[in-house]
Structure 1
Amino acid sequence: MTGLCGWSGPMPAGVPSGAQVLARMAAALAPSVPDTVCDSRDGAGAGLHVTAVAGHGGLHVEDDLWAAIEGYPRWGTESLARMARTRGHAAALAAAYRHDGEDLFRHLAGPFSLAVIEPQAGRGLLAIDRFGVHTMCYGRSAEGGLVFGATTQAVRAHPGIAAAVTAQGVYDFLLFYVCPAPRTIYRGIDKLLPAQFLMFENGTARTGFYWQMPYRDGGDGGKADAQALAEELDARLEQAVRRTLAEEDPGTIGAFLSGGLDSTTVVGMARRVSGTVPRTFTVVFEHDRYDESRYARAAAAHYGARYNEYALGPRDALELIPRVAATYDEPFGNSSVIPAYCCARMAAGHGVGLLLAGDGGDELFGGNERYVEQLAFEAREAARRRLLAQFLGLFLRPLATAGGSALARRAWAYLQRGALALPDRLEADNYWFALDPAVAFTPAAAAEIDRDAPLALRREVYRRTASTALVQRMMHLDLTAALADNDLRKVNRMTALAGVRVRYPFLDEDLAEFSARIPPEVLVRDGQLRDFFKRALKDFLPPETLAKEKHGFGMPFEEWLKDDGDLRALAHECLAAFKHRGYLQEPFLDRIIADHARSRPMPGDGIVWDIMILELWLQAHEHPCGSA
């Protein structure tokens, strides 16, 4: 991966040199990919490092201003675009900053992260792109300076940062199986949300948003007919893929392919735009419930793409889980990291330098099952259910939260959904959401946990959009919670680990803003997910893809645990080791281990996987037991 790191402000006393600190911080960035360049500058009161894809970023230094940018930035004025071509993107950034300050983002698009420092004035700017493809973490040093980096580990490498794992961070991870922005698992380190900037000056900082999805009630209000919208979708998709492939060698391009709508669309558009036969990569499983290779094969055949598959089994998982857990700068519990890595590794072995991914389509065009579920839920007698939930909850809650039956837990979760407003309702069947931390966490850890805090962050994102339409608000939330916090982190880190770059054609600003104009009742019509998208591309996509249900690169981890003794032993060893961390009560973990060994139902979906990943991550990042 590429990334930035640096600081503005005084260094701790006794630090030998800023160059050494900057080198340590740069070494803690994510694994690098081929064709990158590095540049650094340090001096009195500041340091700045950038690792960027050659020709797509760098560092620009003037006496009173340092500017760094990485990613695939695109400038909106001819003068800035010309400067980027002739003097580099960082020089264009410096010019835009001098002229417009924090308003420069109206001229900047594409995936990026950037930093501008005025060392003498002690001020500057940090920001990431509109969809959070790139990341930026930051913290305040003991001396009052600002320290930043693409990863938490880069920030922690600065001698002025003393960041410890918090019980709140552990709780947030167990609740969402990721560490959602703007917080991190560390006390004193935060991260930017998509389209967020941070301005700092002499020890003070403020954040703001320079863009958000332009949803509005009514969309186009029915002004554009279906045929016109369909034609525009096709044109916008082609434009997005054309932009993505500009300046790329067609012979080194490949694509993830699950056979679903988005990966198939990307493959088809890549074939149309490049005129070459794209190479595609997928994983296959022996478990029919997870294996989707028949759809991927059909999609590849439809476009004449070169099809490659990898048979993924429990031995792969056993080998890769510790390595993958260690690769992340925060614990990351999406189990599809393993299939994503195997695809990327296979692509690298075939000489692919850039992989195209279909992430973002569901969040832009109404493709997540919960949209339909919540529309139906709202349409029913919500008021009556809320009253019923309040009444019956008095009797069911004690049974559901104190080790009661699975039936009681399911009944309580359903009743909770009726009593909750969105977006909290989305977590109603989440085991950790319903559980009082005092039941599972140690007293010391439980005392630090604010159960409402992670949900409050979700509410803020859900309500920030100007639209009151349920589907648009949920898509707005998912662009952060499902995409930026989760899917992009998965694919970015796994492709970097495999030594391959990745791009996301769906995350094109013009395509996204077009999707925001489509009325939600057109996107999801009569309870049919992706209805508009499927109708618009019915003559472009293969029939197998149009008929396919959403799945993705899931992995049959629970099934493998039952069949593979070594994998089960790894999981149980990690759970046993986690007993000494001081977060969860030992009897609680003992019960999970014993129940799992006897194939009894687990209290929550994925609980064994999540705790295993958390323990392996703690071990890899040298956090001794009780270090919180």
Structure 2
Amino acid sequence: MRGLWGWFQYYLETENERQYLISSIAQDTPIDGSATFTQESMAIAGHLPYRTLIKEQNGMVITIAGYPYWDDRPLQQEILNILANDIQRNGIQALSKLTGSFVLSILDSVKKEAFFAVDRYGTYSLCYTVVKDSLIFGPTPAEIAMHPIVNPEIENQSIYNYLYFNMIPAPETIYKGIYRLPPGQVLYYRQGKTEIQPYWHYQFKEHESLPSQSDLGKTLQIILKKAVDKFVREENSVGAFLSGGTDSSTVAGFLGEVTGQPARTYSIGFAADGYDETNYARIAARHFNTDHHEYYVTAQDIVTTIPKIAHIYGQPFGNSSVVPTYFCAKLAKEDDVSYLLGGDGGDELFGGNSRYAKQWLFSLYGKIPKTLKDTILEPITQISLAQKIPGFSKVGSYIEQAKMPMPDRLESYNSLNRIGIENIFSKDFLSSINPDAPLQQLRSLYDGVSAQQSINRMLGLDLRITIADNDLPKVIGMCNAAGIDVGFPMLDEELGDFAACLPAHLKVKRTHLRYFYKEALRGFLPDEIIAKKKHGFGLPFGIWLKEYQPLHTLVSDSLANFRDLKIIQPSIIDNLIGIRLKEHAAYYGDLVWVLVILVQWMQYYETKIINKRKQIKEKLLTLKEKTSYSL
């Protein structure tokens, strides 16, 4: 994965030892394609030299990877000293000048202190741990788990969080004591201890005095074009994901404008009803006259790809759309594209997810007089005869959900809640975890959003949980697996600041998602794209699991290994791939996918990671003995 990895205050005597270790702990990143710096007590490496700046001065090593901007200018080598000095003088306030996508490291061997920061939206990742006063870091937990001083131990709570969210939200990782730095935050390391502080958070401005909606629309188009233009670089051959959705179509359209030539666009299709959106991608491609390419993912593609991608994130990651994302990135790579643009982030800035409209409908219940609810509406839902009336159960479900506080209501369809954790997990596993922890984390994040409007609070929550912890890792990881870089124009800071000032009712107008955005882009985007409902690169995994025997065999064989792990009850495995899959293949297929990825990752951990750790220790010992012998 892209980013920085290495260690601080961990001593190796020879350069041979340091070079061997820094290359060995890198996960699927060849060291000859990286920038490195090593000293007796530290080592740091960055993925690809042209994206990594390293400077050493007076015992201080400053490293930044990515596409950072300093005072709205691309950050160059000569500015690194200014940046480091500014941080030393002004602390995290200095980071207000630093934008773009990046991970920053300052290692001070004189003071024996370290400083790290990741960008505002989390497009770069940093994981870390401290062992015996040594700081070990990397873009995923895998680089850290490989280090000989670390003894990785899988955390049961993280397994539960993974199955709840389909990923593991920061700051936790799959390993006990290994953490991931949340977006917009810094890590201080002093005297063997770490301290985390936010240097930025998304701030909604709900009471701004704004121009007319027409003028705002013109401003939006200007900012969007500038955002795409920032990602077009001389050293890269640029293309764009094109799902046929609002954001990918926007990016593709402006990419053609800023380059002055047809944008190179890439899309994925499925031979499955309700999943294939290539028709919309073709509409956008024709409208913007792009150089368009498509690939149709098959069930066999899933069979061959699962073992290859399950380990990419250094921990379990259960978003099933990694598969179409991977094949889309692979298609672009084969077309000699080196840099892809994704549309991720637009829905979370401008209100495009269907759950936002649903919550507006639920909010209407709160406007009904309490007396009417207490004396008529709620009691009638408890009458058994009323429940037999066709459609009445939906009324009762609506009232039950409407009564739930936010953000708890958002999790009412979570598969663990619907099935019941007592029906899924073993008693021993449940006794080792806190089942309320995921919801407690959601509540904390929701309450921490600086907004009063419920729509904005959901957007703020999703910028963290949906974007930083889910969508961005999904796209970045699969592009990394395909050998291609990726950027996200919709997460440009100026665009984010613009969206923060928009009134909530312009983002979601009753049940009309992205109302302002779509009106502002009317005439630029095709009418069919503006009218369509959100979909994206969804995967018909559950459908194909029923129909394609090799996939069913892979899944059955994988889940059979769960019986020995004593995490879930054996009966739930047969239940999921039997009765429940027949009831609702798409819904329960997602849970099956998440379980399969967990098993595949654990098998990788038990074979590759444990064995490689052993090899690294033995090789370091050999190198140390050779050094002693030569002396």
- TM-score normalized with structure 2 length: 0.88
Mapping of 1:245-394 within 5 angstroms? 245-249=232-236, 252-381=237-366
Counterpart residue identity of residue 9, structure 1: Q
Taking the aligned partners of 1:35 and 1:357, their CA distance within structure 2 comes to: 28
Residues 390 and 65 from structure 1, CA distance in 2 versus in 1: closer, same or farther, beyond 3 angstroms?
farther
SS at match of 2:561: helix
**Deviation digits for residues 15-67 of structure 1, max 9, x if unmatched?**
776864664455444544999542122323x332222450x422211232111
Counterpart residue number, 2:107:
117
Shift of 1:211: 1.0
Correspondence 1:578 to 2:562: yes
SS at match of 1:111: strand
Correspondence 1:493 to 2:489: no
**Contact 1:322–1:616 (CA under 8 A) maintained in structure 2:** yes
User: 1:66 pairs with 61, 66, 70, which one?
Assistant: 61
User: 2:226 pairs with 239, 251, 274, which one?
Assistant: 239
CA RMSD of aligned residues (A): 3.1
Counterpart residue number, 1:138:
128
Counterpart residue number, 2:2:
2
Counterpart residue number, 2:47:
51
Residues 445 and 30 from structure 1, CA distance in 2 versus in 1: closer, same or farther, beyond 3 angstroms?
same
Mapping of 1:161-560 within 5 angstroms? 161-218=150-207, 220-221=208-209, 223-249=210-236, 252-381=237-366, 417-433=401-417, 437-560=421-544
Taking the aligned partners of 1:18 and 1:331, their CA distance within structure 2 comes to: 34
**Contact 1:310–1:343 (CA under 8 A) maintained in structure 2:** yes
Shift of 1:522: 1.1
**Deviation digits for residues 182-236 of structure 1, max 9, x if unmatched?**
1111111111111011112102222111111120333x24x32101110110111
Q: Which moved more, 1:460-469 or 1:270-279?
A: 460-469
Counterpart residue number, 1:404:
none
Taking the aligned partners of 1:458 and 1:346, their CA distance within structure 2 comes to: 36
User: 2:36 pairs with 36, 39, 57, which one?
Assistant: 39
Taking the aligned partners of 1:410 and 1:333, their CA distance within structure 2 comes to: 30
User: 1:107 pairs with 89, 97, 106, which one?
Assistant: 97
Counterpart residue identity of residue 342, structure 2: A
Shift of 1:523: 1.4
**Contact 1:124–1:199 (CA under 8 A) maintained in structure 2:** yes
Residues 338 and 475 from structure 1, CA distance in 2 versus in 1: closer, same or farther, beyond 3 angstroms?
same
Counterpart residue number, 2:628:
none
Shift of 1:386: 9.3
SS at match of 1:197: strand
**Deviation digits for residues 317-358 of structure 1, max 9, x if unmatched?**
111111111222111111111111111111111111111111
Counterpart residue number, 1:402:
none
- TM-score normalized with structure 1 length: 0.89
Residues 39 and 21 from structure 1, CA distance in 2 versus in 1: closer, same or farther, beyond 3 angstroms?
closer
Shift of 1:93: 3.7
**Contact 2:62–2:105 (CA under 8 A) maintained in structure 1:** yes
**Contact 1:258–1:552 (CA under 8 A) maintained in structure 2:** yes
Taking the aligned partners of 1:210 and 1:173, their CA distance within structure 2 comes to: 27
Taking the aligned partners of 1:312 and 1:604, their CA distance within structure 2 comes to: 21
Q: Which moved more, 1:100-109 or 1:514-523?
A: 100-109
Taking the aligned partners of 2:159 and 2:392, their CA distance within structure 1 comes to: 27
Q: Which moved more, 1:163-172 or 1:24-33?
A: 24-33
Taking the aligned partners of 1:387 and 1:175, their CA distance within structure 2 comes to: 36
Residues 274 and 386 from structure 1, CA distance in 2 versus in 1: closer, same or farther, beyond 3 angstroms?
farther
Taking the aligned partners of 2:602 and 2:129, their CA distance within structure 1 comes to: 21
SS at match of 1:212: coil
Taking the aligned partners of 1:161 and 1:390, their CA distance within structure 2 comes to: 56
Residues 477 and 2 from structure 1, CA distance in 2 versus in 1: closer, same or farther, beyond 3 angstroms?
same
Correspondence 1:567 to 2:551: yes
**Contact 1:29–1:150 (CA under 8 A) maintained in structure 2:** no
Residues 92 and 29 from structure 1, CA distance in 2 versus in 1: closer, same or farther, beyond 3 angstroms?
farther
**Contact 2:206–2:502 (CA under 8 A) maintained in structure 1:** no
Residues 522 and 443 from structure 1, CA distance in 2 versus in 1: closer, same or farther, beyond 3 angstroms?
same
Counterpart residue identity of residue 105, structure 2: A
Counterpart residue identity of residue 427, structure 1: E
**Contact 1:389–1:418 (CA under 8 A) maintained in structure 2:** no
User: 2:70 pairs with 75, 88, 98, which one?
Assistant: 75
**Deviation digits for residues 355-377 of structure 1, max 9, x if unmatched?**
11111110111101111111110
Counterpart residue identity of residue 158, structure 2: G
Counterpart residue identity of residue 38, structure 1: A
Counterpart residue number, 1:621:
605
**Deviation digits for residues 578-604 of structure 1, max 9, x if unmatched?**
11112112233343344368x355794
Residues 497 and 391 from structure 1, CA distance in 2 versus in 1: closer, same or farther, beyond 3 angstroms?
farther
Residues 440 and 307 from structure 1, CA distance in 2 versus in 1: closer, same or farther, beyond 3 angstroms?
same
**Contact 1:6–1:25 (CA under 8 A) maintained in structure 2:** yes
User: What is the aligned-residue identity percentage?
Assistant: 33
Q: Which moved more, 1:22-31 or 1:143-152?
A: 22-31
Taking the aligned partners of 2:31 and 2:516, their CA distance within structure 1 comes to: 39
Residues 125 and 621 from structure 1, CA distance in 2 versus in 1: closer, same or farther, beyond 3 angstroms?
same
Taking the aligned partners of 1:163 and 1:299, their CA distance within structure 2 comes to: 47
Residues 77 and 418 from structure 1, CA distance in 2 versus in 1: closer, same or farther, beyond 3 angstroms?
closer
Residues 298 and 594 from structure 1, CA distance in 2 versus in 1: closer, same or farther, beyond 3 angstroms?
closer
**Contact 1:40–1:50 (CA under 8 A) maintained in structure 2:** no
SS at match of 2:442: helix
Taking the aligned partners of 1:190 and 1:430, their CA distance within structure 2 comes to: 25
**Contact 1:4–1:113 (CA under 8 A) maintained in structure 2:** yes
Taking the aligned partners of 2:595 and 2:67, their CA distance within structure 1 comes to: 36
Counterpart residue identity of residue 3, structure 1: G
The answer for unaligned runs of 5 or more in structure 2 is 385-390, 609-631
Taking the aligned partners of 2:392 and 2:13, their CA distance within structure 1 comes to: 61
The answer for unaligned runs of 5 or more in structure 1 is 397-406
Residues 525 and 253 from structure 1, CA distance in 2 versus in 1: closer, same or farther, beyond 3 angstroms?
same
Taking the aligned partners of 1:386 and 1:89, their CA distance within structure 2 comes to: 65
Shift of 1:389: 11
Counterpart residue number, 2:624:
none
Count residues in correspondence. Answer: 601
Counterpart residue identity of residue 51, structure 1: H
Q: Which moved more, 1:523-532 or 1:27-36?
A: 27-36
Shift of 1:113: 0.6
Taking the aligned partners of 1:566 and 1:387, their CA distance within structure 2 comes to: 56
